[in-house]
Structure 1
Amino acid sequence: SLSILATGTAPPFDYAWSFAGETGKNVDDVPAGNYSVTVTDANDCTETANTTVPAYPPISFSAKADSATCYNLPDGAITVETPDTTLVFSLDGGTFSQDKIYENLPATNYEVFAQDIYGCVDTLPIIVPSPPPLVLSMPADAEVQLGDSLEIKVLASGLEPLTFHWADSFYLSCHNCPNPVSKPLSNVLYSLTVTDKNGCTAFDQLQITLHYIVDVFVPNIFSPFAASDQNSRFDLSFGPAAKNIRLMRVFDRWGGLMYEIEDVVPNDNSRAWDGRYDGKVVLPGVYTWMLWVELADGTTRKYQGDVTIIR
């Protein structure tokens, strides 16, 4: 701005500046340059004064933003850089200081203010970015029958690579994969922690309840004389809880051992009793059987009953 102070014995004074249109004693918003003003009093006496509006150097600075480490974590930062050691700075219109680093910032939009020694101010908008959220979703709590298995399908997304850690890996096929298979022998609570590239973590749990159900089917009648394979053998059927047929015996009514097998995979009936003893079909009648089954949890159960052979 420009101002002129005129004194003399013949006021009022008229002002004529060297640029058109300005006739007051104060002129604002004047660009840098050389200027003159002519003052004329009531007696038409004139006096001219010259002045210079200096050109101040432009404010030179830049800023860079560091992303927050984790989604919704206020640990972002802004660093101001400038070759001018006289500048002072402010973040979002706060107090000016020589601090050039602003830390512990949440991810959002900011404005950096720079002020020079002349009181001139410039601004620079900047964004502290946010990483994508780390999302973890486990299946609903589940129920599993003894001997059955369950694939735990985990949904996880975030800043890759992601790492997986199962704190309780009992009965799991792996302890650091996203979709392990569980074959539990008891009730179990699984806890999963997922960690992203920046070390951010997400946590979830899954409860599996074991149902101790043992399905064993033993026929009560069959005919080795049948023309077809249907009902012509002593075929056994087991549910998933059965791990091994430790021993199977069949006796006639006098206690004679007619048939015996050991350590057979359940539902493998390739060695099922065909109603023969010493290569000959036994007589029709009632026969007693005993069965010992090893279960998936390592325990053994004994079953017994009778079967009728008919023609």
Structure 2
Amino acid sequence: MPPPQSGGNSKLHISCDPLEPFCGLMGGPGCIYNAGGISAIATDKYVSSPDISTIGQTNITLSFWYVANGQSGNDYGSVRLSDDGGLNWFPLLTQYFNPNPNVPVTCTQESIAIPVNYENISNFRIGFRWINNDDATGADPPFSIDDIELSVPSSGPPPVTDFNASITSICEGDCIDFNDLSTNSPTSWEWSFPGASPASSTSQNPTSICYNTAGSYDVTLIAFNANGSDTLEKTQYISAVICLLPSCNFSFTDSNLCEGDCIDFTDLSSGTPTSWEWSFSGASPSTSNLQSPTNICYSSVGTYDVGLIVTNTNGSDTLNEIQKINVSATPTIQVSDDSTIFIGNNIQLSASGGLTYQWSPSTGLDDPTSSSPIASPSQTTTYTITITDQNNCTATDSVKIEVLSLQSLFIPTAFSPNDDNQNDVLYVRGSGIDQLSLKIYDRYGRMIFTTTDISKGWDGSFKGKPLSNNVFTYYLSGLYLSGEIIDQKGTISLVR
């Protein structure tokens, strides 16, 4: 039998001889036991533990779970003890059997107080015995044991270990302190600090534990009291890094500005700064504590400095950019006066004060990048001019050209194509016309003439042959320059 232990599987199970006919009914091969029926046999079987030391132990209790069948005084299990390593055995009086064979057996826990003469010896043993006679009276199976345990009273619980450090993220070379937080009144401590100096301690709260090399380190504490010990390891609990001063640096979206321009600044400092102090001479706002401030505006011509101080836990660094921001004046723009023209006419615009020019909209302009473009708008238009000088600064102004509508349309009701140079060709006459479509039909519905060119007229012929006197129908459609639609029809008399 292996050493008794709590929660183990130390069992003594007497079943049957594999040669007996009832063996299969009684649970498999084992020691011979047959309560009755065929070839009843007397059995006396036992198992025992190895030597167990009880030195320093008192008030020992033996406990186990058992299932027992059998017959009182004849077929039963029992417990026996030895104080000389198994040379001599002392049987305990309790017999384990089933007092009522008609009732199924159940698993029962047994506790036995070990006599004091088995205390403070080095070769204590426990054993279990099964006896049955051959009178063919009894019940199967006989005796099963589980969860054998020897215990002594405890004076209190063992420690529950816990601890913390004054800081867990440090710079290499830093020293820190540790605090024992264990419960249940530990009386001694064993600390382990791999990678630190010192690497171990037996103090309850060790101080000045130094980590001289960057890395991640485990910490272990074993706390002891009279009732036992407990171990806690915190892996990668201490992180030591190489700590550097910050190095200040920054950038900005532009250094050559015009009056009223705003720019953004970006912190490029290394060393993981945690705070920033910006100064912007001549700007609004003039200071900032943001990491990367935006919308810093310069409203006056001049040259200005920019300063930044960055700080981390190890110190600070400063960078001053002297006369770094240059602010130029806005150019002075001159533009022609507002004007009025009749539709279909044009006018020259003019602007000055820049190196380059851009007019908008470009509709109706012969060259929108000229300082003096020709404007032919079909409707009232406000032209915006943007000039850019040598500093890339811009100025904007506008000029309004009002277009007066002067539109008319006329088509004769008769003409005489007789080659007398008087009213020989039928033309559409008018002003302010943008698009035109003329269609002429005879009385049979044939289209005998069409044009979209106001300068082309009908000479009274069809397919090259002169037509005789008659009345013709026309349809006239189109669009005035003002955007008004032309839609007109009527009749024309051809008289030769």
- What TM-score do you get using the length of structure 1 for normalisation? 0.46
- What TM-score do you get using the length of structure 2 for normalisation? 0.30
Q: Which has the higher relative contact order, 1 or 2, with Cα contacts under 8 A spaced 6 or more apart?
A: 1
Which structure has the bigger radius of gyration? 2
